[in-house]
Structure 1
Amino acid sequence: MKVIKTTEIYVPLMETEYENHFGKFDTVLNELCGLSEKLYVVFYKDKKSSLKIERATNAQVKKYFQRKKEKKFTKYFLKFTTEYSFIDKEEIEFGLLAVTLITESYVKYLLIFLNIAKPGAFDSREGITIGTLNFETKTKVDKDVFPMLANTIHLSLNLVGKYKWPPIQELSINDTLKWFDKHWEAFTTMPKNRIERALNAFSYLFHDSLADTSPSDLFFSLVGIEALFVEGNESVQKQVAVKSQLLLGKRNEFKKKFKELYEFRSRYVHGQLNLINKYYLRDADTDLQDHLSKTYDNSNLAILILIASIQKHILLDKDELAFEFILKD
């Protein structure tokens, strides 16, 4: 008995600050859709399915997002599709549900790491996953929520003009994904090197709730940065300061700001800064807004440094970088 499982994932994308810093977002979507059926999702014993990527039609958007608030605030909707054929009992035991879960996992990673190639372009909201099972003359359809991957990367781009550092650029999606192919296992197993630890830290910058106002972006960005630049436990801040400039260019505009970034993180970690209740209700309290502003500012700077550093690894086609200090004449 042949059983075919088709998984369709519809993802709404927010309009972001991307176009204020780079090119047209339509061009980005065309570049991504140009890779349709050229990317592959691996399922069972190296059996795989091509991933079809396209813009959702108006009819599909109306059908699946008719009552969702995402439709009001989003302009773009993507559709991802895989198809898997079960041909024996062993494969069926592998799991009809597993095919959908693996497809969802791949699409999550794809949307997250597209933000390395096109910083801030992909800020998604809650979507929908549709699994269609066809066997003999019967069809079964299951629907589930595809989680949002909300992030503030596009807002962090505003700091590039303010601080003139680090250098952030657009990369080719195809070239970036080819580089990521070498590290794809790190997303499902333990990382093997520095860059894979940094990539996993980057994944924590994406949230399934808009209410997440914790300083976690600051913490995980610095985890990723230190994974790339720090050896041992000696002078962590100094290692990052020196090595990041060797990789990304010299900081001339804001030396004090970089020091403030680490002091801010340290005060948080050691309980010297007020930590806002996770479930607090937003209000217009001036002190509260000032505190949040400082948190976001430091978090966004750390996010930029992490993205710029990973981009540099991609451009140099490196997994790890070795640094050495030279005595001047």
Structure 2
Amino acid sequence: MNIRSSIELNDRSIEEINLTGVYFECATTVSHKFGGWPEIRIIPIKYVVEWYDSLKVGLKIKAENNMERALFSALYFCHDTYSGYNPTLIVWIIQALESFYGISSNDSIIKALKNRIFLHLGQTSQPKKVNKKINEFYDYRSKFVHGDMEIMRLGGDKFLREDYIDDYNLKLIDLCDFGATLIISSIQKMIIAGAKSVGFNETINYK
């Protein structure tokens, strides 16, 4: 399912948003692959709209807090204008995750993100498998942004059918679907709880 939205300005209809629903369609498959983690729910659209309205995002152009940064980042990797999978989607998905979980550049990023994901979404029955996938996710992003990744020629996969091309695309699709599923589950939990933001505090108690 795709979502299209347009606004009317000066008597002209201007398309504003065209979102793909492919990540929602794949989320249950990803969850099943990891033993039902993270949990993916079916939430009535009414509750989703009420939750979003409570955030008072309105017509803001620039995100002002972590939740808005996460939601605005999601618009980029769900925008159907960039149809198909490409490595830049990984960057936007990680931007959404780190914004949602309040990860700063001063944190030990992967460790902090894992800890907060498990706190928010609960523990998984397959911790080694999930940890490995998160590491793989970040390794892919690192190779891309630092120029170490092998890049396919734009449009090249339309003309050739080779195993290495299929492997390249399948890995990218697998990682994008995994990261997007984490975001979907994280936001769904906020909607169900009626929460507008989430904070994490590290404490120590001596007894």
TM over 0.5: yes
Q: Residues 171-199 of structure 1: CA distance to partner in whole angstroms, max 9, x if unpaired?
A: 12111101111345365421221111111
Distance 1:193 1:242 in 2: 21
Structure 2 length-normalised TM: 0.82
C-alpha displacement of 1:251: 2.7
The 1:241–1:209 alpha-carbon spacing in structure 2 relative to 1, beyond 3 Å, is closer
Alignment of 1:91-170 (within 5 A): 95-97=10-12, 100-101=13-14, 104-105=15-16, 108=17, 149-153=19-23, 154-164=25-35, 165-170=37-42
Q: In the alignment, which residue of structure 2 is the partner of 1:291?
A: 168
Instruction: Tell me the SS of whatever aligns to 2:190.
Output: helix
**C-alpha separation in 2, matches of 1:276 and 1:240:** 30
Tell me the SS of whatever aligns to 2:19.
Answer: coil
Q: Which structure has the greater CA radius of gyration? A: 1
Q: Indicate the structure with greater strand content.
A: 1
Give the match's secondary structure for 2:100.
helix
The yes-or-no answer on 1:234 pairing with 2:107 is: yes
What CA RMSD, in Å, does the superposition of the two structures yield over aligned residues? Answer: 2.8
The aligned counterpart of 1:75 is none
Q: Name the aligned partner's letter for residue 238 of structure 1.
A: K
Classify 1:314/1:296 alpha carbon distance in 2 versus 1 (closer, same or farther; 3 Å).
Answer: same
- Runs of 5+ unmatched residues, structure 1: 1-12, 15-77, 85-93, 109-147
One-letter code aligned to 1:219? V
1:252 pairs, out of 111, 119, 125, with: 125
Quick check: which one's helix share is greater? Answer: 2
How many angstroms does 1:155 deviate by?
2.7
Cα contact 2:27–2:40 (8 A) shared by 1 = no
Q: Secondary structure at the match of 1:309?
A: helix
List aligned pairs for 1:1-329, cutoff 5 A: 13=1, 95-97=10-12, 100-101=13-14, 104-105=15-16, 108=17, 149-153=19-23, 154-164=25-35, 165-183=37-55, 185=57, 188-204=60-76, 205-208=78-81, 210=83, 212-229=84-101, 230-253=103-126, 254=129, 255-282=131-158, 283-327=160-204
Change (3 A) 1:273 1:226: same
Percentage identity across paired residues of the two chains? 21
Mapped partners of 2:65, 2:194: distance in 1:
14
TM-score normalised by the chain length of structure 1:
0.54
Of 282-291 and 294-303, more deviation after overlay is shown by: 282-291
Which whole-Å deviations, capped at 9, do the CAs of 1:44-97 have from their partners, x for residues lacking one?
xxxxxxxxxxxxxxxxxxxxxxxxxxxxxxxxxx99999x9xxxxxxxxx8323
Structure 2 counterpart of 1:243, which letter? R
Alignment-mate amino acid for residue 236 of structure 1: I
Checking the alignment, whether the CA contact within 8 Å between 1:213 and 1:278 is kept in structure 2 is no
Q: Which amino acid aligns with 1:199?
A: L
**For the Cα contact (< 8 Å) 1:214–1:276, is it kept in 2?**
no
Q: Please say if residues 57 and 68 of structure 2, whose CA atoms lie closer than 8 Å, have aligned partners that are also in contact.
A: no
The C-alpha deviation readout for 1:99-140, integer Å capped at 9, x for no partner, is x33xx54xx3xxxxxxxxxxxxxxxxxxxxxxxxxxxxxxxx
Maintained 8 Å contact 1:193/1:320: no
- Larger RCO (alpha carbons 8 Å, 6+ apart): 2
TM-aligned CA deviation for residue 162 of structure 1: 0.7
Within 2, Cα distance between the matches of 1:197 and 1:80? 21
Unmatched segments (≥5 aa) in structure 2: none
Which amino acid in the other structure matches residue 10 of structure 2?
G
C-alpha deviation, 1:241, in angstroms? 0.4
Count of matched residue positions in the alignment of Structure 1 and Structure 2: 198
Does structure 2 conserve the Cα–Cα contact (< 8 Å) formed by 1:150 and 1:209? no
